[in-house]
Amino acid sequence: MNKLIKIDSINDIPSEYRTTPVGLLFEYHNLERPSESYDKAQLLIGMCMDNRKHLHMPDNFAFIIRSGGANLRYSEFKVSYAIGVGQVRHIALIGHNNCGMVNLIARKNEFIDGLVNSAGWERDRAEEHFFHFAPMFEIGSETDFILSETKRLRLRYPKIVIAPMFYLVEDNKLYLIDER
C-alpha cells in the first residue's frame, strides 16, 4: 500500500492544499475546526458507498458523489455538473481500507446467491450481471486506484485541484495518499 500522510495539525497539510477547501476538509474532519456557514458548495467529494464512513463538515460545504471504490469513471456528468454549474474548483477523492470493490471475484458466489435469494433473480441473469459489471467496478488496490483516478481526473479537468485522500476505518481519520 502507498504511504499515508497523517494530518494531526494544520502544519501537516501540504502548502498546496492548506488554504483551499481540501485543507478545510482536513481541518473540519481531523482537527475539530468549528463549523462555519456556507451558502454554496466549496468542494466536490468523491467517496465509496461503504457504510463505515462519516465525514465531519459543515452543512452546504460539499457536493458528495458516492460510488463503489470512489470510482468516478461512470459519474463524470455529475463531476462536470459540480464544476460547471456548482462552481467548485477542488475535488477530494477519498478511498478507504478494506474496500469491497477490491477482489470482487472472491465475492462472486455471495453476490449471485444474494441476488437469486433476496431479489428474486434467475441464476443465469445474476451470473451474467456479475461477469458484465465486475471488471468495470473492480479497483485492484485501494490506494493505487485513488492515485490513478486522481491522475485521470487531472488530465480531464486540468484547472481543477484534485487531492488523493484515504479514510482509515479503524480511526475514522482522513489521510493524504503520498504521491511521491
Smallest separation, CB 156 to Zn ion (Å): 22
In the complex with Zn ion, the residue whose CB is nearer, 12 or 50, is 50
Q: How far is the CB of 101 from Zn ion (least distance, A)?
A: 5
CB 69 → Zn ion: shortest distance, Å?
5
Alpha carbon distance 36, 28 (integer Å): 10
DSSP run (H or E) holding 39:
none
Give me the residues that bind Zn ion (CB under 5 A), please.
Answer: 48, 50, 99
Residue closer to Zn ion by CB (options 99, 176) is 99
Integer Cα distance of 160 and 169 in angstroms: 28
Which residue, 33 or 107, is less far from Zn ion as judged by CB? 107
Nearer to Zn ion, 8 or 74 (CB): 74
- Alpha carbon distance 37, 72 (integer Å): 28
Task: Using the minimum distance from each CB to Zn ion, give the nearer residue, 7 or 48.
Answer: 48
CB 59, min distance to Zn ion, A: 25
Which residue, 26, 52, 53, 28, is CA-closest to 174?
Answer: 26
H helices of 57-122, in order, are 76-84, 108-114
First-to-last alpha carbon distance for the chain, in angstroms, is: 13
* Sign of the CA dihedral running 58, 28, 67, 179: positive
CB of 125 to Zn ion, least distance (A): 25
Nearest Cα residue to 53 out of 172, 170, 139, 171: 172
